Structure 1
Amino acid sequence: MWCGVPVDNVDVNAATEHGVLVMNSPGGSTTTTAEHTIAMLFALARNIPQAYETLKDHQWEKSKFKGVELAGKTLGVIGLGRIGSEVARKCQAIGMKVIAYDPYINTDAHLSSGLALVEIDQIFDQADFITVHVPLTEATRSLINQTTISKMKDGVRLLNCARGGIINEKDLYEAIKSGKVAGAAFDVFETKPNIQSPLLELDNFIATPHLGASTVEAQRKVSEDICRQVSDYLLKNTVRGALNFPQIEVGQVERYQHFVDLAARLATFISQICDGRMQTVSIHYSGEVCDMNLNYLTSIVVRSLLVPVLGEGVNLINAMHVANRRGIKVQETRIR
């Protein structure tokens, strides 16, 4: 089980290869992480950590820490998943103009929130504050870099409470030193723990040690979610939040158990009577069976075909992976 939204630190492919079910429980930390982003946004705009540090040093430097208002400013949100959407909603409520980019949402889509969807270059061009809420992938690594920063407004402020590496730290350091970027707030770094980053030497850079999901409420919620997901899987044949297996609703397996049994027996029988190397598996679905999750049923068929040949190392989680690795093509046709 993994509690959190990004799953780039879980080797899902390796787990699948070994037949291990990977479940994600992202919902419990959504509010907490969004609230932490908002807290960092306010702290960045009003220089709160820096002002507090001078007070601790017995200095009263009111004029040194003049900040900026958030109301009326443009916030660019990159990534409209659970957390990005919540951040956008909260920032709209405090009077910010929020524009957003998400590669999986068409810019022509109409959102009930009234949020403006734009291309990413428009965020770079228009935003006073930019916050990133995407997973770390090859496509998003160093998404914010020297080139993209050059497209931004002078005095832009950047936030990263998602994953370290989305903002190139070396390029950000140079941009802050030059004055192009007025400040930045991080909850995550490229490596952790990180107490040696040159960014920490800058007065207009603030950071926390990955506290995004660290609240009493979030820890309780994700613990409850984990227990519920595991118990439902073990006791009710229900799969929710799986990253390497189809979702199965409560009662679905039992409701279509006759199809499950038939699929398994037919596949086992066919595996035993066929000679030669298996190259293609063609499965034709028709009628009532099309109402169930056919990805699950296909996994049943493929597993039942492979177990007599390969033994107990094949299960429902890795059956499709094993078939693909052995060059077996699995085809489905569905006719209602």
Structure 2
Amino acid sequence: MYRIKTMNKISSAGLAYLDQTRFQVGEDLENEDGILVRSAPMHDYEFPDALRAIARAGAGTNNIPIDRCSEHGIVVFNTPGANANAVKELVIAAMLIASRDILGGADWVQEQAHSPNVDVAAAVEKGKSAFVGPELFHKTLGVIGLGAIGALVANVALELGMDVYGYDPFLSVDAALRLDRHVHVVKNLDELYKVSDYITIHVPYNSATKDTINAEAISKMKGQVRILNLARGGLVNDDDMIAALESGRVAKYVTDFPDDKIATVKNVIALPHLGASTPESEENCAVMAARQLQDYLLNGNIVNSVNLPNVSQDWSGIARICLIHKNVPAMLTQIMSILSGDGINVENMTNKSKKDYAYTMVDVNTRINDEVADELRAIPGVIRVRVLNH
């Protein structure tokens, strides 16, 4: 029985996916084999010995200590694309409220309605000109990051009659196939900055993407540009954005990640992290996270891991050996040498690496005893060995 600890409220649709005859699920479990988490902070979490995998029901993994997980042989999963439609819809709303002062206008109407002796209909006709703004039609949208969310945003913007430029230095074949052929995919951000009336960013947050939108980037943009950040707060430099808003170079900034510094600045529209906050998105993320966690624990397959390579293969033997190890030379030679020395025939084998780490799955035609497993664990650079029986 595998123990799965929940560190946030996880949609019941996801929990129902876990086979109750194979998994025990709860928030108070100890020495858990797997964790399902959303936003709970885990950087100070003490990993139990049994912990083998963490599945984040969402795309971002900033709350999880990825490097420490890798060092302990713990696979970290996320759920890219599961919340893509929810974020896409909020991006469209963000463009509209950044263009036409819908929020300000609605608040103003309420002020009139709650003021004594005010004819609301007459006041509206007289005061509506204070809230006018441009249409999206025939404007240019720049999309930074063309993954699951960015591609959806680019495609729907075309449907709204916008001209769309996209940038993604790591554009995958699958992502490229999802893009409408009318999206202008550019090779550098400067080209996107130069033409865009609206810019939306959809990339993961890490040391390479921190402050992607800063003073230098803003200086290359059109004046009165409207910038949307529904990805991660650290992708935009707050100080540089404030300066750009004060100078008028940026007309509006919509952020889903407000803080004390940016939330009260004029022409900032601060949203309470609503990007994936829909019941459909939460259900999609939970199901996807649970499915990936179950497949890894039962079959050793890795799909959508942020710290280890994606490796999946159909069962073709009696037992399966799963090894997480350093990405170093001669590792496969040592693994195969031990197996052949013990008279074990290999039915199938897959090995892939991701930066400093690698993952090897070996299907064999006999049961693997503890002595063989311990020999494999003793190989320098091997971090974790799991033996699964079909």
Q: TM-score, normalised by structure 2?
A: 0.66
Aligned length: 288
Q: How far, CA to CA, are the matches of 1:64 and 1:268 in structure 2? A: 77
User: Which of these residues, 4, 21, 24, is aligned with residue 75 of structure 2?
Assistant: 21
Q: How far, CA to CA, are the matches of 1:54 and 1:246 in structure 2? A: 53
Q: Deviations over 1:124-182 (max 9, x none)?
A: 11100011111112222111111221111111110000011211111111111111111
Contact in 1 for aligned 2:97/2:103 (Cα 8 Å): yes
Contact in 2 for aligned 1:141/1:167 (Cα 8 Å): yes
Match of 1:64 in 2: 130
Shift of 1:236: 3.6
The one-letter amino acid paired with 1:224 is V
Match of 2:306 in 1: 243
Q: How far, CA to CA, are the matches of 2:385 and 2:66 in structure 1? A: 15
Match of 1:277 in 2: none
Match of 1:36 in 2: 90
Q: Deviations over 1:90-118 (max 9, x none)?
A: 11110000001111249xx8955321111
User: Which of these residues, 160, 179, 183, is aligned with residue 229 of structure 2?
Assistant: 160
Match of 2:365 in 1: none
Q: How far, CA to CA, are the matches of 1:263 and 1:58 in structure 2? A: 78
User: Which of these residues, 334, 352, 370, is aligned with residue 295 of structure 1?
Assistant: 352
Superposed counterparts of 1:1-336, under 5 Å: 1-58=55-112, 60=124, 61-105=127-171, 112-118=180-186, 119-189=188-258, 194=259, 196-202=260-266, 204-249=267-312, 251=314, 254-255=315-316, 266-267=337-338, 292-295=349-352, 299=360, 307-308=377-378, 314-316=383-385
SS at match of 1:170: helix
Q: TM-score, normalised by structure 1?
A: 0.75
Contact in 2 for aligned 1:160/1:185 (Cα 8 Å): yes
Select the structure that is richer in helix.
1
Q: How far, CA to CA, are the matches of 2:197 and 2:154 in structure 1? A: 14
Q: How far, CA to CA, are the matches of 1:263 and 1:298 in structure 2? A: 14
Q: How far, CA to CA, are the matches of 1:299 and 1:288 in structure 2? A: 14
Contact in 2 for aligned 1:264/1:304 (Cα 8 Å): no
Which stretches in structure 1 are left out of the alignment for 5+ residues? 273-286, 318-336
Q: How far, CA to CA, are the matches of 1:57 and 1:293 in structure 2? A: 66
Contact in 1 for aligned 2:334/2:379 (Cα 8 Å): no
Q: How far, CA to CA, are the matches of 2:163 and 2:137 in structure 1? A: 8
Q: How far, CA to CA, are the matches of 2:152 and 2:264 in structure 1? A: 28
Shift of 1:72: 0.1
Q: How far, CA to CA, are the matches of 2:277 and 2:319 in structure 1? A: 46
Match of 2:14 in 1: none
The one-letter amino acid paired with 1:267 is I
Q: How far, CA to CA, are the matches of 1:199 and 1:155 in structure 2? A: 20
Q: Which moved more, 1:238-247 or 1:143-152?
A: 238-247
Q: For residues 248 and 256 of structure 1, do their structure 2 counterparts lie closer, same or farther at Cα, with a shift above 3 Å needed?
A: farther
Q: Deviations over 1:48-69 (max 9, x none)?
A: 1111121222274311111100
Contact in 2 for aligned 1:185/1:205 (Cα 8 Å): yes
Contact in 2 for aligned 1:32/1:212 (Cα 8 Å): yes
- RMSD over aligned CA atoms reads 3.2
Shift of 1:309: 6.4
Shift of 1:200: 1.9
Contact in 2 for aligned 1:101/1:120 (Cα 8 Å): yes
Shift of 1:201: 3.2
Q: For residues 99 and 233 of structure 1, do their structure 2 counterparts lie closer, same or farther at Cα, with a shift above 3 Å needed?
A: same
Which stretches in structure 2 are left out of the alignment for 5+ residues? 1-54, 114-123, 323-332, 363-372
Contact in 1 for aligned 2:262/2:268 (Cα 8 Å): no
Q: For residues 116 and 198 of structure 1, do their structure 2 counterparts lie closer, same or farther at Cα, with a shift above 3 Å needed?
A: closer
